[in-house]
Chains A and B, each alone.
Chain A
Amino acid sequence: MQQEIHVPKLKLGKRKIDLFPIWIALLFVGLVAGAMGAYQVLTHGLTVTGLSNQVPWGLWIAVDISSIALGGGAFVLGVIVYILKIKRYENIGKLAVLIGFLGYSTAGLVLLFDLGQPLRFWHPVVFWQVHSLLWEITMCVVLYLTVLGLELFPTVTDHAFFQRFPFIPKIAHSIHRFGPVLAVVGLTLSLLHQASLGATYGVLAGRGMLFSATVPVLFVFSAVGGGLSLLFLLSALVFRTMRPGLVSDKVMRELARMAGGMMLLYLYLLLWDWAINFYYSFDAQSSLQLELLKSVSPYLWSFWIGQVLFGALIPGAILLSYRKGGNLRLRLLAAAFAAASVVIMRWNYNFAGSMAYIHYAPFVEQVKLATYSPTWQEYAVATGVVSYWLLGFSLAVRYLPFKSPEHH
């Protein structure tokens, strides 16, 4: 019944040291830092941040949309396991659900501090404004977090601890029967809000270079590509190193190829989007915005190198070419780059339109520069929520079996 878990240890001569306690202690330091920042924000308000009326969304929103993007593997695996009924993905699907749940709860957590009125976080659920993309995203994320929680429940109750209370795993696995329903609901909600997160920026006509109809599609494709890349990367640790035999090498290779294909598809769309914005269009304001961004930030570098070349093109090709006997480490490196590029893409979208913003004065087209540098409180809260993500992941990976009981 119990799956043996091989804990990676640091070899120092003959001694083998388990670094896990040190790692957890480190994460607790991160959580304490986060709590300190959070205390400052909640007592003094958002005045302790570096945000301004010109750059109202900063580091936290970038963390928020990045963690949601990297949770994109969950709904893809949900479809593969429950709708396409491909059994060999069942165990890796549990990891995808875990990553999804952590990503979405991280997003919710960081948003709580970003709101000017944190105690009113529930308002969108009650006071509907159906024309707002942000309303739709809030509803989708709330519902999808519930779906992910239900999907994660059986994985958690598979832990030996719950054998003392057999009714809990029993309830948990009765949810399993609704798997296909949850998968369809999850797919719908995910596609809706991943696209809407892009549209949140895409509808901003007044922000020039963000105003694009392609953004929603870019966000969906990059979330799938980045989410699968991260899943592939972490699967190597969780399954190959710690739980050998649970996930076959074939599944790993297929996963890598899926991620690579998705990244290339996303790149194809991204280049058309770029061409529409900056090549075929003669929008003076967008080009002015780009010029200013180039002068103050590594925007061009982060776009062409971070997003395109080392983000999608090379890693995508490397992941897509993963065949039997291929070099796994190279693919893991490529997956890390692909996942990082999706984060870079989200940061570019969050900052490009507000750092160089189009001025409203008539007659002469003007683009103005805003400044934003996060304060220590912002870094602290960001560190705290990232520590929460890592803590949840570390504990789950160390102690949960990630194995369906049906197999034994």
Chain B
Amino acid sequence: MNDLTDMKQEEAEDTEEGMSRRKFLGVAGAAVGAITVAQITALPLLGKNQAGHGSHGLHKWGMVIDLNTCIGCNYCTYACQAVNNVPDDMQYNNVTTEQTMNGDEYFLARPCLHCENAPCVQVCPVGATFMRDDGIVTMDYDLCIGCRYCEVACPYDARVFNWKENTMTAGSNPNVPNFGYPEVEPRPRGVVEKCTFCEHRIDSGLERGLMPGVDEAATPACVVVCPTNARVFGDLNNPDSPSSQALASHKTPIVLRPELSTQPKVYYIPPADEKEEV
């Protein structure tokens, strides 16, 4: 008889313990679930396009570079380094000498192409690289952890890592003042940097009623400095903008590595002999 009551008591205790454990698991599970739901619902509220699938804003900034007119002077690179406070051994913009199928040499200037389908935006683990509503692919340097996955993912070699401390002052920057004055804060060591289409110029220009691509103060430094006007910039949503006009007036504008479907917003007018072949 005694044994039986003992067993019953034990059973009761067991169930009680079981209940409390179940309760604990329930509470813990609910907490984790709540945090997850909160995080996922908060994603669109962050106002950042982290998926990197296209721009949806009023403007869609784009650039057209005419490879027939580029003389390879590298002014675009220097102006970019001056304005964006980029040290001499780092380049957002790149000018290389390439060859056409016929073997003719031409200069290929390459800023960040601001892909509509940007691989670097998709791979960033913290959303530090994101796409603005106007299609500019830009960085939140406070979020970047410096994992460099964006560099691995970028098919255009357009991302540059800040390998060492930026100790440059306006005085020690070789491109200041010949190519402009620093307009952007230097970034800390250990983040990946990129061309922003000079977003600071576009934003402050629009606030002052200027039109990027038309008014120099609101246009990327590389476009303004170009001595042959090989680069034009403007709103691709606006058919009257310089970049839309340039695209409309040429038969065969191209983008780099179209097979990857990254849909760059920087277009190129191919060299004359390539056009004939097409």
| A interface residues (Cβ-Cβ under 8 A, vs B) | 44-47, 51, 53-54, 56-57, 114-118, 120-121, 123-124, 127-135, 138, 200, 203-207, 353-354, 357-364
Interface size counted on chain B using CB atoms at 8 A = 54
Q: How distant is the Cα of A363 from the Cα of B257 in the complex, in angstroms?
A: 10
Check if B240 is an interface residue, CB within 8 A of chain A: no
Given contacts A206-B257, A362-B254, contact A134 B159 (CB under 8 A): no
Could you list 11 examples of A-B contacts with CB < 8 Å? Answer: A116-B144, A116-B162, A116-B189, A118-B190, A132-B149, A134-B147, A200-B149, A206-B155, A357-B157, A360-B157, A363-B270
Q: Are A124 and B260 in contact (CB under 8 A)?
A: no
Residues of A within 8 A of B162 (CB): 116
Q: Are A205 and B151 in contact (CB under 8 A)?
A: no
Q: Are A206 and B145 in contact (CB under 8 A)?
A: no
Which of A124, A134, A363 lies at the interface centre, i.e. has the most chain B CB atoms within 10 A of its CB?
Answer: A363
Check if B176 is an interface residue, CB within 8 A of chain A: no
Residues of B within 8 A of A360 (CB): 110, 155-157, 256-257
Q: Are A44 and B50 in contact (CB under 8 A)?
A: no
Q: Are B260 and A205 in contact (CB under 8 A)?
A: yes
Check if B136 is an interface residue, CB within 8 A of chain A: no
Given contacts A115-B145, A121-B145, A124-B145, contact A132 B122 (CB under 8 A): yes
Q: Are A53 and B160 in contact (CB under 8 A)?
A: yes
Within B174-193, the residues touching A (CB, 8 Å) are: 188-192
Within B81-139, the residues touching A (CB, 8 Å) are: 96, 98-101, 108, 110, 119, 122-128
Task: Kindly report which residue of chain B lies nearest to residue A283, judged by CB atoms.
Answer: B259
Given contacts A138-B125, A362-B254, contact A354 B152 (CB under 8 A): yes
Residues of A within 8 A of B100 (CB): 363-364
Q: Are B151 and A361 in contact (CB under 8 A)?
A: no
Task: Kindly report which residue of chain B lies nearest to residue A127, judged by CB atoms.
Answer: B126
Q: Are A123 and B126 in contact (CB under 8 A)?
A: yes
Check if B205 is an interface residue, CB within 8 A of chain A: no
Given contacts A46-B190, A120-B145, A364-B98, contact A132 B155 (CB under 8 A): no
Residues of A within 8 A of B270 (CB): 362-363
Check if B51 is an interface residue, CB within 8 A of chain A: yes
Q: Are B260 and A206 in contact (CB under 8 A)?
A: yes
Q: How distant is the Cα of A206 from the Cα of B163 in the complex, in angstroms?
A: 23
Q: Are A207 and B146 in contact (CB under 8 A)?
A: no
Q: How distant is the Cα of A46 from the Cα of B110 in the complex, in angstroms?
A: 26
Return the contact of B50 from the options A54, A56, A114, A129 (Cβ within 8 A).
A129
Return the contact of B149 from the options A134, A359, A364 (Cβ within 8 A).
A134
Q: How distant is the Cα of A118 from the Cα of B122 in the complex, in angstroms?
A: 22
Given contacts A116-B144, A130-B43, contact A203 B190 (CB under 8 A): no
Q: Are B164 and A47 in contact (CB under 8 A)?
A: yes
Q: Are B268 and A53 in contact (CB under 8 A)?
A: no
Q: Are A53 and B101 in contact (CB under 8 A)?
A: no
Residues of B within 8 A of A57 (CB): 148, 152
Q: Are B190 and A45 in contact (CB under 8 A)?
A: yes
Closest 9 CB pairs of A and B: A116-B146, A206-B155, A116-B190, A56-B148, A135-B125, A134-B125, A129-B127, A47-B164, A47-B163
Task: Kindly report which residue of chain B lies nearest to residue A132, judged by CB atoms.
Answer: B125
Given A116-B145, A362-B98, A363-B270, 11 more A-B residue pairs with CB atoms under 8 Å apart are A44-B164, A53-B157, A116-B146, A116-B191, A117-B146, A124-B125, A129-B125, A129-B126, A130-B40, A206-B257, A364-B100
Return the contact of B123 from the options A128, A130, A132, A364 (Cβ within 8 A).
A132
Shortest beta-carbon distance from A133 to chain B in Å: 7
Residues of A within 8 A of B155 (CB): 205-207, 358, 360
Check if B153 is an interface residue, CB within 8 A of chain A: yes
Q: Are A116 and B119 in contact (CB under 8 A)?
A: no
Task: Kindly report which residue of chain B lies nearest to residue A353, judged by CB atoms.
Answer: B152
Q: How distant is the Cα of A203 from the Cα of B261 in the complex, in angstroms?
A: 13
Q: How distant is the Cα of A224 from the Cα of B216 in the complex, in angstroms?
A: 60
Residues of A within 8 A of B157 (CB): 53-54, 357, 359-360
Q: How distant is the Cα of A324 from the Cα of B147 in the complex, in angstroms?
A: 49
Shortest beta-carbon distance from B1 to chain A in Å: 32
Q: How distant is the Cα of A207 from the Cα of B123 in the complex, in angstroms?
A: 14
Residues of B within 8 A of A127 (CB): 126-128, 143
Q: Are B50 and A207 in contact (CB under 8 A)?
A: no
Check if B220 is an interface residue, CB within 8 A of chain A: no
Q: How distant is the Cα of A357 from the Cα of B110 in the complex, in angstroms?
A: 17
Return the contact of A45 from the options B98, B128, B163, B254 (Cβ within 8 A).
B163
Residues of B within 8 A of A206 (CB): 119, 153-156, 257, 260
Residues of B within 8 A of A134 (CB): 123-125, 147, 149
Q: Are B143 and A123 in contact (CB under 8 A)?
A: yes
Q: Are B123 and A46 in contact (CB under 8 A)?
A: no
Residues of A within 8 A of B159 (CB): 53
Q: How distant is the Cα of A215 from the Cα of B18 in the complex, in angstroms?
A: 44
Check if B10 is an interface residue, CB within 8 A of chain A: no
Task: Kindly report which residue of chain B lies nearest to residue A350, judged by CB atoms.
Answer: B152
Check if B39 is an interface residue, CB within 8 A of chain A: yes
Q: How distant is the Cα of A148 from the Cα of B122 in the complex, in angstroms?
A: 30
Residues of B within 8 A of A121 (CB): 145
Given contacts A115-B146, A127-B143, contact A204 B51 (CB under 8 A): no
Check if B165 is an interface residue, CB within 8 A of chain A: yes
Residues of B within 8 A of A56 (CB): 148, 151-152, 161
Return the contact of B101 from the options A115, A117, A359, A363 (Cβ within 8 A).
A363
Shortest beta-carbon distance from A98 to chain B in Å: 27
Q: How distant is the Cα of A203 from the Cα of B270 in the complex, in angstroms?
A: 29
Q: How distant is the Cα of A115 from the Cα of B50 in the complex, in angstroms?
A: 21
Residues of B within 8 A of A129 (CB): 50, 124-127
Check if B62 is an interface residue, CB within 8 A of chain A: no
Residues of B within 8 A of A46 (CB): 146, 161, 163-164, 190
